[in-house]
Protein backbone atom coordinates (compact mmCIF):
# COMPACT_ATOMS: atom_id res chain seq x y z
CA UNK A 1 0.00 0.00 0.00
CA UNK A 2 2.81 2.42 0.87
CA UNK A 3 4.53 1.63 -2.42
CA UNK A 4 1.36 2.50 -4.32
CA UNK A 5 1.05 5.86 -2.52
CA UNK A 6 4.70 6.60 -3.23
CA UNK A 7 4.19 5.94 -6.95
CA UNK A 8 1.06 8.11 -7.04
CA UNK A 9 2.88 10.95 -5.27
CA UNK A 10 5.74 10.65 -7.77
CA UNK A 11 3.36 10.81 -10.73
CA UNK A 12 1.60 13.82 -9.21
CA UNK A 13 4.93 15.60 -8.61
CA UNK A 14 6.01 14.90 -12.20
CA UNK A 15 2.72 16.34 -13.54
CA UNK A 16 3.12 19.49 -11.44
CA UNK A 17 6.73 19.89 -12.64
CA UNK A 18 5.63 19.44 -16.24
CA UNK A 19 2.86 22.02 -15.84
CA UNK A 20 5.31 24.55 -14.37
CA UNK A 21 7.79 23.92 -17.19
CA UNK A 22 5.08 24.47 -19.81
CA UNK A 23 3.98 27.71 -18.13
CA UNK A 24 7.57 28.96 -18.00
CA UNK A 25 8.09 28.13 -21.67
CA UNK A 26 4.85 29.81 -22.73
CA UNK A 27 5.57 33.00 -20.84
CA UNK A 28 9.09 33.34 -22.28
CA UNK A 29 7.81 33.28 -25.87
CA UNK A 30 5.69 36.39 -25.53
CA UNK A 31 7.15 39.56 -27.01
CA UNK A 32 6.46 42.04 -24.20
CA UNK A 33 8.88 40.77 -21.55
CA UNK A 34 11.32 42.34 -19.12
CA UNK A 35 14.19 40.73 -21.04
CA UNK A 36 13.03 42.33 -24.29
CA UNK A 37 12.45 45.65 -22.52
CA UNK A 38 16.05 45.54 -21.30
CA UNK A 39 17.27 45.01 -24.90
CA UNK A 40 15.76 48.30 -25.99
CA UNK A 41 18.11 51.31 -26.04
CA UNK A 42 17.63 55.04 -26.52
CA UNK A 43 17.91 56.08 -30.14
CA UNK A 44 16.17 52.98 -31.50
CA UNK A 45 13.35 53.60 -33.93
CA UNK A 46 9.72 52.80 -33.23
CA UNK A 47 9.88 50.09 -35.91
CA UNK A 48 12.86 48.42 -34.17
CA UNK A 49 11.05 48.43 -30.83
CA UNK A 50 7.89 47.02 -32.41
CA UNK A 51 9.97 44.24 -33.95
CA UNK A 52 11.43 43.35 -30.54
CA UNK A 53 8.02 43.34 -28.83
CA UNK A 54 6.36 41.61 -31.77
CA UNK A 55 3.44 44.01 -32.03
CA UNK A 56 2.55 47.66 -32.43
CA UNK A 57 2.37 49.88 -29.40
CA UNK A 58 -0.62 51.99 -28.48
CA UNK A 59 -0.18 55.76 -28.44
CA UNK A 60 -1.76 56.78 -25.19
CA UNK A 61 -0.55 60.33 -24.61
CA UNK A 62 0.54 63.25 -26.73
CA UNK A 63 2.22 66.34 -25.40
CA UNK A 64 0.53 69.65 -26.32
CA UNK A 65 3.76 71.65 -26.77
CA UNK A 66 5.91 68.89 -28.26
CA UNK A 67 5.61 66.26 -30.91
CA UNK A 68 6.89 63.49 -28.62
CA UNK A 69 4.53 60.60 -27.96
CA UNK A 70 4.26 57.91 -25.31
CA UNK A 71 3.64 54.36 -26.47
CA UNK A 72 2.43 51.48 -24.34
CA UNK A 73 2.87 47.76 -24.94
CA UNK A 74 0.81 45.50 -22.71
CA UNK A 75 1.06 41.76 -22.25
CA UNK A 76 -1.83 39.38 -21.60
CA UNK A 77 -0.59 38.97 -18.02
CA UNK A 78 -0.94 42.74 -17.46
CA UNK A 79 2.79 43.50 -17.53
CA UNK A 80 3.54 46.59 -19.59
CA UNK A 81 6.20 48.84 -21.03
CA UNK A 82 5.91 52.60 -21.60
CA UNK A 83 8.37 54.31 -23.94
CA UNK A 84 8.67 57.90 -25.20
CA UNK A 85 9.50 58.67 -28.84
CA UNK A 86 10.36 61.99 -30.49
CA UNK A 87 8.87 63.40 -33.69
CA UNK A 88 11.37 61.33 -35.72
CA UNK A 89 10.12 58.11 -34.12
CA UNK A 90 13.35 57.71 -32.17
CA UNK A 91 13.27 56.45 -28.60
CA UNK A 92 14.15 59.22 -26.17
CA UNK A 93 13.21 57.60 -22.85
CA UNK A 94 12.35 54.20 -21.42
CA UNK A 95 9.72 55.48 -19.02
CA UNK A 96 8.45 52.40 -17.20
CA UNK A 97 8.33 48.63 -16.95
CA UNK A 98 5.54 47.24 -14.77
CA UNK A 99 5.63 43.58 -13.82
CA UNK A 100 2.56 41.39 -13.99
CA UNK A 101 0.06 41.59 -11.16
CA UNK A 102 -1.40 38.24 -12.17
CA UNK A 103 -1.36 35.40 -9.64
CA UNK A 104 -0.27 31.89 -10.56
CA UNK A 105 -3.88 30.65 -10.52
CA UNK A 106 -4.95 33.55 -12.76
CA UNK A 107 -2.12 32.74 -15.16
CA UNK A 108 -3.13 29.07 -15.31
CA UNK A 109 -6.79 30.03 -15.93
CA UNK A 110 -5.78 32.45 -18.70
CA UNK A 111 -3.44 29.98 -20.40
CA UNK A 112 -5.84 27.05 -20.18
CA UNK A 113 -8.85 29.16 -21.07
CA UNK A 114 -11.01 28.27 -18.09
CA UNK A 115 -12.31 31.60 -16.81
CA UNK A 116 -14.91 29.83 -14.67
CA UNK A 117 -12.23 28.00 -12.66
CA UNK A 118 -11.31 29.97 -9.52
pLDDT digits (tens, 9 = 90+) for 94-104: 989 998 877 77
pLDDT recorded at residue 7: 85
pLDDT recorded at residue 48: 94
Residue 77 contacts by C-beta under 8 Å, 6 or more apart in sequence?
A: 27, 100, 102, 107, 110
Q: Is the dihedral of CA 33, 37, 38, 44 positive or negative?
A: positive
More confident residue, 36 or 62: 36
pLDDT recorded at residue 26: 56
**Each residue's pLDDT tens digit, 52-62:** 999 999 987 66
Residue 82 contacts by C-beta under 8 Å, 6 or more apart in sequence?
A: 70, 71, 72, 95, 96
pLDDT recorded at residue 41: 94
Amino acid sequence: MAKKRFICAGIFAACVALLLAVLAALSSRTGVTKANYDRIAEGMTLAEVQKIFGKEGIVFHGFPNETARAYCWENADRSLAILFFDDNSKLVEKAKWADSTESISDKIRRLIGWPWWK
